[in-house]
Amino acid sequence: MTERKPPGVDFESWVDKQIRDADARGEFERLEGAGRPLPPEVESTYDELWWVKRKMAREGMSVLPPALALRKEAEDALEAALTAPSERIVRKILADVNAKIGDMMFKPPPGPPLGKKPYDVEDVVRRWRERRAASDGQGGTGERGGSDT
């Protein structure tokens, strides 16, 4: 629409006319999402940063302070380590997250404290072996009966 509002015409009535004309031309037919309810975020109070939040959610980004984001990452890493397919992968996951935790412990960012310390790799490997033995019903430490280190 490139028409400009004519001088002396009430803005609201000019907009209403544009909508009626577009409707008469069928420009509102077969629109994406037609007949479906609006998403919940549209029905809430207006938020100037709605598009930023939607983009961040779509990209899997976090708005948490660095310490809280690392705390979540550490918890996810522990769970991933306990369900890892080999001891080598358990050790790799823990080494990576322990390095990040160590960095943050000695160079704390602004915000709440991390509240985490590096994981005891041997303790987590022992727990991983126990879980694996319980799920395999073998009592062994891996598929080949030994460690994958």
| Predicted TM-score (pTM) of this structure | 0.46
Question: What whole-number distance in Å separates Cα of residue 149 and Cα of residue 143?
Answer: 13
**Over 50: is that where the pLDDT of 144 sits?**
no
Amino acid at 119: Y
SS3 14: helix
Averaged pLDDT for residues 41-56:
76
- Report pLDDT for 145: 46
Mean residue pLDDT across the chain = 81
